[in-house]
Structures are given as C-alpha cells and as structure tokens.
Amino acid sequence: MAVMRDSSRRQVLRLLSAPAIQLLARQNGSPQDSHEGMATRGVKPAPRGKPSGIPFYAHFTDVAAKAGLRGVTVCGHERRADYVIEEMGCGAAFIDFDNDGWMDILVLSSSRFGDPPPDASTRLYKNNRDGTFTDVTKKAGLFRTGYFYGVAAGDYNNDGWEDLFLTGYPQNVLYRNNGDGTFTDVTKEAGLVNAEPRFGTGCTFIDYDRNGKLDLFVSNYVLFDPKSTPRAGDKASCNAEHVFCGPRGLPYGKHSLYRNNGNGTFTDVSEAAGISKASPGYGLTAVSADFDNDGWPDIYVACDSTPSLLFLNKHDGTFAESAMERGVALSDDGMEQAGMGVAVGDLNLKGTLDIVKTHFAADTPAVYVNDGKGNFTDETLLSGLATETRFISWGVGIQDLDNDGKPDIFWVTGGIYPELQDDPNQPFRGPRILFRSLGNGKFEELGSALGATTKALHCSRGCAFGDFDNDGDMDILIVNVNEPPTLLRNDLSVQREWIKFKLTGTKSNRSAIGARVTVRYGGKVQTQEVMSQGSYLSVNDNRLHFGLGTSKTVDAEVRWPSGLMEKFDKLPAGHLISIREESGITKRERFSKQ
C-alpha cells in the first residue's frame, strides 16, 4: 500500500507554500517515469472487501443509436494525436433549451490538427419526448467546427432561457438563447473575446457578488502555440514516449473571472477579485458551490498535475485561494494528482457538500468529506474508492442511481495516448465504473451487476447525469473519443420513491445557480446545489433529483442565493416540484412510468 496515512505530515504540508509542495512531491519521486505528461502517484489498489451481496436494482442500456445521437466527437486521429489540444476531449450537457420540460442534449467536439473533419461540430439534440432526439444543430445556429472542451449552462441575461458558454482553443464562445429555438454568438458584444489565443477548459456561471446576475469563471489548461509547442515525436525532451507534449513541459494556463454588468457585457475582474494571485496550474473542470456554508458561492478547480484550487468567497468581491489549508489541493500523502473531473454531493448524508475528483491511472480518485465549514478530510481509503486504480478517469457524478436514498458514485474512463492503444499496460478503452453506496460514507464497486452495456469499452471524457425520459431515474450521457456518445437509459427493476426540484430565481439569478435544497426523508438528510458545471467539463440536469428509498414524503428547505430561506413540509414523492423564489410551489408534476 503506497498510500501514506500520516495526518501530521499533511498538516505540515498545508503550512508550506505551493511551490515548496511541488518540489517536495517531485523529490519524493512523483512517479513520472513513463507518464511525463500527467501526474500519477503510482499507487497500488487497496484490497477489496467481501461483496455485500445486496442486489442493485438499477440497470443500464445504451440507447444512443436508437435515440438518434449519431454525431462523432472528434479528438485527434484514431491512432495519433500530435498536440494536447486534440486529446483532452470535451463535455456534454443536459439542458432544456426550449423550456418544454424535457432535457435536450448538447455534445461537444474537438478536431484533428491539420486535417479537421468538416462535420466535427458541437451537436444539439432536441428531445422528442418519446425516447428519441432530433439533431437541430444547424437550425439552432450552433454548427461550428474547432476545438471545444467545456460547457456551462445558465441564464446570464435573466430572460427565462438557458444560455450556453463553451470553452475552446483559441477562443471561448457565449451563445445567447433567443427563445425561438435559435442561439446567437454574442462573445464579441459581451466583451469575452480573448486578446491572445487561450486553451479554455473549465467554466461555470456563478453569482459571486449575489446581485442576481450570473458572473462567469473560466479555467485554462496550458499556454499552447503550435509554433512553439513541440509536436508528438518531434522532441524527446517533452515526453519520452513520443506522444504529445503536455501538460507538463508547457506553460500553465491562467484562470479568469468575468463580472456580469447586467447589460449583456462582462468585465474581466480576475485581478481585482484575487483569482490571478492563485499559484498557476493546469486547470480543468470548474465547479461552483457554497463549500464553507456561509451563503456565498465558492469555486473549486480540478487541476491536472498541479495542486487543485479552492477559491473561497470573501463576501467583498474577492476570493482567497485556500485549497491547501482546506485539504483539497493534493492527495492525502501530499502528492499532486491529475485532477480531471469533479462531482459534488452529499456522500455521507450529513447535509454538507463533499467532493469526488478523478485522476490518472495508477492513482486513486480523491474522496474529500466536508465538515460543513469547508474543511475537508481525505476519506479515499475509508470510503472504499482506493480499490480502483486501473484507469485514467474523467467525468464523475455523485448520484443516487438506484433511488435507495443513498447517492452512488459513477465515473467514465479512457486513455489519452492513441499511439499506445495496443499496449495492454495503457488501456485506451475502459469500462464505466460504479461504486454503490452502502451508507455511512462507504462504497463498493459493482462489476457484472451492471449489464453488458456498461461493461462495453470506450475511450470516454465528459459525462452528464439527467432524467431524459422523465421517468424518475437518473440516466447518463457519455462523450466518447472519435465515436458517437453513449446514452445509458436507467431502468429500475423495483419500485423506489424519488422527488425532483426545479427552481426559478426572481431576486436571485433566474437559473437559481447556487440555490441549495436540503431534504429530510426516512431519518436521513441530504443537500444538493444547482450547479452550472460538473463531472468533466459537463452540465447535469438542473432539476435536483433525490432518491428516497421507501419514503413517501419529504420535508425540504430551499436556500436561495439571495439568502431567502423557504420551507416546504410533507412534499409528495414521485413528483417534480417547481418552486419560484418568493412565490412558493408553482407546479407539482407526476411523472408517469414509461
């Protein structure tokens, strides 16, 4: 067992500055041998416990082809990636762009350097409400080729229609939803055009100053320039395997915060808000939630091969980067990890927001449990997740997939070097991973119980969780490299209760991003927040879903970003409850089993 559990050492590490930590980690032999590109700790898996034998009643079927999701997400050539911009892949979104109450699907694409396929575009699929989708990309004005990575959904102009922000290289794009099925690229008029080419990755809308207007945080991965960045195989100095160079060996990306001026424009406040002061790193997925429970939204950024970042909101327009002292920068033994995806949820049902972050192969994911004040304890080993170290891991969710009232953990896997795909030690196509909750913060990995389609091997990146068929269970959309996406329809083989919340802000931002719902059911308590990005560069269904086991009613408390608290007692299971700030419940919809 290479994982050290030495809390005094960790406390010492927290007191050191980030550069010192990095030096220490590297002196300790951060095993970069054949993986100079990304950090891995080279740990062995923890021993697996005896299977609980408790049946898992969720079953998944890949219905993507039948449902009409046919666009291929292009990421480099089948067996070659010259540059890191080709291979980091991208996210997907569940978003109801036409407000008909059914989740539509957005899937991003990257491209091939020097040989861009003319149809490698972001795809928007409209939900036909019968299990199928129609590709409306061109009609919606979203057809565009290029290198895109992350997506955030949010109604930045508070007109009732969800807008889209996409990160990319060399430029990000803000698409305003016109409300008539079309989008307009408003990047320039919004003031969001980069002065220099940038490699944007994570992005999240966040109302950081709580004035009811959604601001925007963007993380960046590396400084990339095809003129100066070595091509794969060109220079052995960047990566010994003759695969693409990066992130190590390339300059760090810098992160940005844009304040919403309320007139359709944004102002870059990265300096004034203290974002620029954070130690530089290779930023990927960015999430916003109130981790220290003070009513102000914070930002967590999964960083690849550098310490991850936690920006705590100081209530005065500034943030203090605090990941090291709060315990979410490094592994438990003080090592840098290749942070890719982030899930936020209530792992142990204590009413606080915990974090799961995915990493490289020969490393575990990180399980960070929140004490409710934003101090995190690394419970990777205790949780049972240290048993899985085989795959490079990406999009991840904390979601109650079997509606037993205990959120489970699901993630997708995939290699990054297509040149090495015949090497059995570098699995390029991997399975989907599911850890079911056993309660008390403990999880067990399920293998064969999942059905054949979850065992199918793919090279995946982003994934998004949502109930596309409105039947009360969470389905999963997965981005696959150089393939169409996977859509895992969830079918529960027993009757279990659930409840969903759709929130609309009035004083708060209309999308209610940052609104928190705490639900009490069957002696349990669970908290979720409406978020604008999660998983890996992806967007989940913004209707908060709670599995309830056998509980027929719940007591719920909503905390709006404005600070308003509202209580709703004895809400009925089996319903989507729509709540408008200050107006209470506006709709109770019963979903029929399809």
| Binding stretches for Ca ion (CB under 5 A) | 96, 98, 100, 102, 104, 127, 155, 157, 159, 161, 163, 400, 402, 404, 406, 408, 437, 467, 469, 471, 473, 475
**Shortest Cβ distance from residue 154 to Ca ion (Å)?**
8
Tokens for 296, please give them.
């102000």
Containing 394, the helix (H) or strand (E) segment is strand 393-399
Tokens for 34, please give them.
């054949």
89, 304 contact by CB (below 8 A): no
**Shortest Cβ distance from residue 575 to Ca ion (Å)?**
15
Surface-to-core class of residue 523, CB atoms within 10 Å of its CB (0-12 exposed, 13-18 middle, 19+ buried): exposed
| DSSP string of 28-68, one letter each residue | TT---TT--SS----PPPPPP---------EEEEE-HHHHT
Q: What are phi and psi of 509, to 5 degrees?
A: -55, 140
In angstroms, the CA 267 to CA 282 distance is 23
**Shortest Cβ distance from residue 411 to Ca ion (Å)?**
15
**Shortest Cβ distance from residue 137 to Ca ion (Å)?**
15
- What length is written for the chain? 594
Token pair 């008390």 in the structure block, residue: 440
Tell me whether residue 368 or residue 546 sits nearer to Ca ion (CB atom).
546
Tell me whether residue 169 or residue 411 sits nearer to Ca ion (CB atom).
411
Tell me whether residue 298 or residue 404 sits nearer to Ca ion (CB atom).
404
Q: What is the DSSP letter of 483?
A: B
Q: Kindly provide the b/e burial profile for residues 171-191, where b requires at least 16 CB atoms within 10 angstroms of the residue's own CB.
A: bbbbbbbeeeeebeebbeebe
Tell me whether residue 87 or residue 475 sits nearer to Ca ion (CB atom).
475
**Shortest Cβ distance from residue 489 to Ca ion (Å)?**
7
Close Cβ partners of 557 (under 8 Å, ≥ 6 residues apart): 517, 518, 519, 565, 566, 567, 568
Tell me whether residue 7 or residue 594 sits nearer to Ca ion (CB atom).
594
Tell me whether residue 75 or residue 573 sits nearer to Ca ion (CB atom).
573
Tell me whether residue 198 or residue 406 sits nearer to Ca ion (CB atom).
406
Tell me whether residue 31 or residue 101 sits nearer to Ca ion (CB atom).
101
**Shortest Cβ distance from residue 152 to Ca ion (Å)?**
13
**Shortest Cβ distance from residue 125 to Ca ion (Å)?**
10
Tell me whether residue 81 or residue 401 sits nearer to Ca ion (CB atom).
401
**Shortest Cβ distance from residue 272 to Ca ion (Å)?**
26
**Shortest Cβ distance from residue 41 to Ca ion (Å)?**
29
- Inter-residue long-range contacts of 225-232, CB under 8 Å, 24+ positions, other chains counted: 225/197, 226/83, 226/113, 229/83, 229/84, 231/82, 231/83, 232/80, 232/81, 232/82, 232/83, 232/419
535, 284 contact by CB (below 8 A): no
